[in-house]
Structure 1
Amino acid sequence: MGKIFVLDNITIDKIAAGEVVERPASVVKELVENAMDSGASAITVEIKNGGIEFIRVTDNGKGIEKEDIPKAFLRHATSKIRQIEDLDTVLSMGFRGEALASIASVAKVELITKCHDELMGNRYVIEGGVKKELEEIGAPSGTTIIVRNLFYNTPARRKFLKSESAEGGHIADILEHLALCRPDIAFSFIMNGKTKFSTAGNNDLKEVIYRIFGRETAKEMIPVSYEKDGIKMEGYLGTPVNNRPNRNYENYFINKRFVKSDIIAKGIEEGYKAYLMQHKFPFCVLNFEMDTHNLDVNVHPAKMEVRFHNKQDFYDFLSGAVRETLQAKEMISDCVVSEPVKEKFHFDSSPQPFETNRRISEDLPAQNFTAEISDKKDAIINAPKEEHAENNIGDTDTSDNDFFVAKVLDSLSLGKENADIHKNVIKEKEHIFVEKDYVISQKPVQLSLFEEEERVLSEKARKNFTLIGQIFESYWLLTYGENLYFIDQHAAHEKVNYEKLMKRYRDNAVVSQQINPPIIVSLSPKEGIWLKDNLTYFLNLGFELEAFGGNEYALRAIPLELYQNDPKDMFLSALNELVEAVPDKAPDVITDRIATMACKASVKAGKTLSRAEMEELLDELLKLENPYHCPHGRPTLFSMSKYEIEKKFKRII
């Protein structure tokens, strides 16, 4: 008897499901993408117990016709493509026809759907790949899919799931990316009965960023729109102060599809290179529109990995676009003093998926106003304050309602003794701007810097700066208008030196300092071979070398800026970095080496400078295109407004 058997369809489906359904988040991703493809304008996702026991996805899309319902759960049944050539132009989120079949084979699935032009809907139940029920029922237009007991029939898969909170976190992450790539769809995510986040579906990407990541993140975003050679990039770049410790906040999409790509990540980070310190990563939300013939999304079952037909061109486009966008903006960090707790009022901002007119509820929590009249001041001051957790999971079923504070105070009928509170509240509200249905606090100083045609840090604006002096033998104080500026003398000098060295390197016009007598340097065979093949790199940096026999070289000159440092140590450290670098990374190592040279040649903290020296260095700093950060990403300066200073002295409450 033969030993090779053909597996039955149910077993095949369970095995194949492992490629598509890895965890509850995979189920949510597939179902929500189907809802997006159905033309839905509102999608609600509800989960319980991390999605292991219960997932419900509801949309108001076009629905599924009765005769298509059983076919939708067959493997490789799809309405998205007809032939292999369609893969070259596919724009829908799904196209393989595997999702529903895979989910139904490892869970208990219930589908309720109704097309817009039909009077009745249909309910379909399938468990473990076996049809259980199909009946007509009354239902709203659209589709609801309920998935229960995931992996109930494959216990080996179920035991490898993480905790309920961890699985819920993966689902939240998926939904956040989907909401960011489609701001025109109203998303609502409910976990264990609590709304985690919701979006309005008004096609305002910044509103979605605010809803998911909070006010502090949303206000530190720079809009970007860049188009070249048939590729269009739109979205938001975070300012350098909006940096993160990992790449998890680099959100990018191609043709509104969330993808993962080393090329995109490296291109973004290259554009930010002059603005961020090492081991810091940017926050961004970017969508790329491009011809589908230039990439392949059919790489992995999750459809999150892409391949570019011309990686280098795309990398150059992306890094250049990011760099140009950042260079066009002032990058001055402002110092915000600690403030008293501001008046906060909560209102339900969660958009309901099928509600035609979304509105902000002005109903206030009764428990905040149960104090006696004499205690109303404290009740207002201590009202709940909104919190936005950076892990994207924090409850957001209530939001700020600063805009209605004046109305609330009036409704409380406060007496004359509290009139000053009302005035102060109104004064604070002058520094609030409203963007559609959300409120974002914007610092007046930062707003003015971004809106002024004349840059604050520019040669033209130099005459408006007044140098006060040096403090702690490390920092300078300057004034410009109603702002106080703090400059780090080492970072500023380092930036000036770096730009000088880079210009000389690019122009092949480096200045060297002769060493007499020459320094003899002994190299290993590997170092000797590499130096011989790449001697041009060192000549362009300003080193002069001559073979001295065997593996020894005579170091006759070094870059002028490094003359005060140990020439041999500087040369060997640069050589070691270049030897260890892969060939195509050598230019990056050269740039890093120039940054190190600039650092070592710069005035150090703790050194007293004369007024003339400070004025001269300030002149040079303001001539630079990017004077905001040193080559290693540290800020060269930050500002503090007169408004913030007066708040510190309680002149403004």
Structure 2
Amino acid sequence: MSIIRRLDNETVSKISAGEVILRPSNVVKELIENSIDAGSTFIEIELKSGGKEMIRVSDNGCGISKEDLPLAIERYTTSKISKIDDLDKTVSLGFRGEALASIAAVSRMTIVSSNGESANLMEVEDSKIQSLKATAAPKGTTIMVRDLFYNLPVRKKFLKTDKTELASIIDVFLRYVIAFNQIHFKLISSNRVIQEYFPQQNQLTRILSVFIEYKEGDIVEFKDADNHLRLFGSNFNIFRSDYRSIYTYVNNRFVNDRLLRRTITDAYSNILPPQKYPSCVLFLDIDPREVDINIHPQKTEIRFKDPNRVFSQVSHLLKQFVSRLSPKGTSPTNESIAIEQDRREPIYGLSESTPGYNAYSNPGHHTPSFLDKGGDIFESAGFFSSLNILGSLEDRFIVLSGHHSLILIDQHAAQERILYNDIIKNSKSGKGITQRLLIPMNIDINPLLLKRIELFSSKLERLGFDIEIFGNNSVIIKGIPVSLTYGFSEKEFIDIISNLDEDIGKLEEDDIIKEIAATTACHASVRGHRRLNEMEIRRLLLDMDKADFSTACPHGRPVFFEITIDEIEKRLDRK
């Protein structure tokens, strides 16, 4: 008896739909692309319940005739190509003929379309046409998708909260807003306009209108001689903690290409701090025959015919661009250590009579070593503050001397651990201790980050933030965690919010708090390459003595290490 069976058409259509439509943002993506391919200059997206209850996309494009409407929801029907060879020259965003068929298979769908001669309304449920009749409508197409996955409960139960799904839709929405500056985009959620972008003359203006936290000069435009590569990149003083602010487009198609992203981060690596990423938008225009866009049903993955040549040229141009961003008048950093050279002149220009300051060890003064305590340095109060300060290395590492040893402290990691401990301790009560700002901070912020603030608002409040969302593009910070005593700026806040994503949202509440606390502590801590004066170092050492300490920062990097005299003698062949 045969155990292999042929699947019925209904099962096949639902399986195929699952490759294209995973969540509401995929529906929005496919419908926006159809609108753009139809030549629209106005696209409006309306949502209810984060797109789970309803998605409506309206445009003023060329419309669909009555004869073509039934074909539009069948699999592998398209107006973009007619044979496989057409893929070599297609520049449209859609071409597979799967989008509407996939949406129709997992929702209740209504299409109203006018081609300028006649207007028609078609209702579809579970891929079956329920009605098709004449109606009145302006030129263009409106597609309404209701009850997504109503007939596929296995998929429906994996949808996220309304806020999370809306954040995902905004992410997709902005990809097209950035690329198509000549189109008027409007996004409505729960009967409220949350984002609207009017047509703009040039790409840079549109990019700055999306990322309104950037000011003039923060984003710089660069083009090659043939205009095949356009880059809108952040200046050397603007950076992020992840690559989510890097947008890459090939022939105006948003792509997730790891090598293109790597080429960008490599080009920036010499002017940004370690593990930091630029904000940039890259447009690459290439002969369609040189790139394969038919890799995945979602059409965000591509393959270049000659990737080595493409990436070599892109890398060369990017490095030219980045070299122009480097701050003028700076020289390469030398690996040097600022150590006292003259015993009569203590470091930082302080007098030898400064109370509590030992520029050098006294022969009769015994300073402790954590090795003297069997490796447990935290049993002895005042260990760090009793060490002798020698200087700083690269304005990142504090150099100290103990009893028969040298100790190096990573100033950023040390304060990061101290702040993290304080923030977590203050959050234990359920609401962190808030330091009220005398003058609240009003911060312009892009819609994607605004949604992240909404998603994590209760967690931010528990840590001590007092944040009020003001309109569609700004927030007011009225208070910050009391532990943030080293100053707090707009940039630090945006960096913290930029690190929040869906992956963090999947954790347990206490783990989410720890993740946000770790990010907050990292961005609020004193930066490497900023020289601390003697009093600031003393303050840091005292804080380290008082803290419920750990030998590593919240991200696992060591805070300090000790080099004993035995190790030094061995290295110098003295033992």
Q: Place the TM-score, normalised by the shorter chain, in its bin.
A: 0.5 to 0.7
CA distance in 2, matches of 1:28, 1:473: 57
Shift of 1:327: 2.1
Q: Partner amino acid for 1:69? A: L
- Show the 5 A alignment for 1:131-150: 131-150=129-148
Residue aligned with 1:103, SS: helix
Q: 1:396 to 1:250 in 2, by over 3 A?
A: farther
Q: 1:396 to 1:569 in 2, by over 3 A?
A: farther
Q: 1:194 to 1:332 in 2, by over 3 A?
A: farther
Check if 1:155 corresponds to 2:212: no
CA distance in 1, matches of 2:51, 2:37: 22
- C-alpha distance after superposition, 1:107-146 (max 9, x if no partner): 0000011012x1x411100011111111111101100000
User: Which residue matches 2:449?
Assistant: 392
CA distance in 1, matches of 2:266, 2:239: 14
Shift of 1:285: 1.0
User: Which residue matches 1:224?
Assistant: 222
Contact 1:217 1:242 in 2 (8 A): no
User: Which residue matches 1:300?
Assistant: 296
Shift of 1:207: 2.7
Q: Which one of the candidate residues 320, 323, 339 is aligned to 1:324?
A: 320
User: Which residue matches 2:265?
Assistant: 269
Q: Partner amino acid for 2:22? A: E
User: Which residue matches 2:286?
Assistant: 290
CA distance in 1, matches of 2:441, 2:113: 41
Q: Gapped runs of 5+ residues in structure 1?
A: 334-381, 401-469, 475-564, 571-653
Shift of 1:219: 4.4
Q: Partner amino acid for 1:123? A: L
Contact 2:445 2:473 in 1 (8 A): no
Q: 1:397 to 1:183 in 2, by over 3 A?
A: farther
User: Which residue matches 1:47?
Assistant: 47
Contact 1:173 1:392 in 2 (8 A): no
Q: 1:568 to 1:311 in 2, by over 3 A?
A: farther
Q: Partner amino acid for 1:200? A: F
Q: Which one of the candidate residues 236, 252, 255 is aligned to 2:251?
A: 255
Q: 1:78 to 1:567 in 2, by over 3 A?
A: farther
Q: 1:163 to 1:568 in 2, by over 3 A?
A: farther
User: Which residue matches 2:237?
Assistant: 241
Contact 1:190 1:197 in 2 (8 A): yes
CA distance in 1, matches of 2:278, 2:193: 28
- C-alpha distance after superposition, 1:143-168 (max 9, x if no partner): 00000000000000000111111111
Q: Which one of the candidate residues 256, 276, 281 is aligned to 1:280?
A: 276
Q: Partner amino acid for 1:387? A: D
Contact 1:254 1:290 in 2 (8 A): yes
Contact 1:197 1:396 in 2 (8 A): no
Shift of 1:471: 9.8
CA distance in 2, matches of 1:208, 1:393: 18
Contact 2:213 2:444 in 1 (8 A): no
Shift of 1:275: 0.8
Shift of 1:48: 1.1
CA distance in 2, matches of 1:249, 1:82: 37
CA distance in 2, matches of 1:181, 1:569: 58
Q: Partner amino acid for 2:49? A: N
Q: Which moved more, 1:384-393 or 1:101-110?
A: 384-393
Check if 1:15 corresponds to 2:25: no
User: Which residue matches 1:354?
Assistant: none
- C-alpha distance after superposition, 1:214-239 (max 9, x if no partner): 143564100111146xx711141111
Q: 1:2 to 1:473 in 2, by over 3 A?
A: closer
Check if 1:175 corresponds to 2:173: yes
CA distance in 1, matches of 2:296, 2:323: 37
Check if 1:166 corresponds to 2:223: no
CA distance in 2, matches of 1:567, 1:84: 73
Q: 1:193 to 1:318 in 2, by over 3 A?
A: same
Residue aligned with 2:63, SS: coil
Q: Partner amino acid for 1:174? A: V
Residue aligned with 1:66, SS: coil
- Show the 5 A alignment for 1:517-528: none
CA distance in 1, matches of 2:447, 2:139: 36
- C-alpha distance after superposition, 1:252-297 (max 9, x if no partner): 1011000011110111111101111111111001211111121111
Residue aligned with 1:19, SS: helix
- C-alpha distance after superposition, 1:57-94 (max 9, x if no partner): 01110000110000000000001111111111111000
Shift of 1:306: 1.0
Shift of 1:169: 0.9
Q: Gapped runs of 5+ residues in structure 2?
A: 330-438, 452-468, 475-530, 536-566
Q: 1:85 to 1:384 in 2, by over 3 A?
A: same
- C-alpha distance after superposition, 1:605-637 (max 9, x if no partner): xxxxxxxxxxxxxxxxxxxxxxxxxxxxxxxxx
Shift of 1:330: 5.8
Q: 1:83 to 1:389 in 2, by over 3 A?
A: closer
Q: 1:325 to 1:566 in 2, by over 3 A?
A: farther
Contact 1:271 1:321 in 2 (8 A): no
Residue aligned with 2:214, SS: helix
CA distance in 1, matches of 2:80, 2:470: 35
Q: 1:287 to 1:69 in 2, by over 3 A?
A: same
- Show the 5 A alignment for 1:369-518: 385=442, 387-388=444-445, 391-393=448-450, 472=533
Q: Partner amino acid for 2:144? A: I
Residue aligned with 1:157, SS: helix
CA distance in 2, matches of 1:567, 1:292: 65
Contact 1:25 1:167 in 2 (8 A): yes
Residue aligned with 2:237, SS: helix
Shift of 1:52: 0.7
Identity fraction in percent = 33
Shift of 1:240: 2.3
The alignment's C-alpha RMSD in Å is 2.9
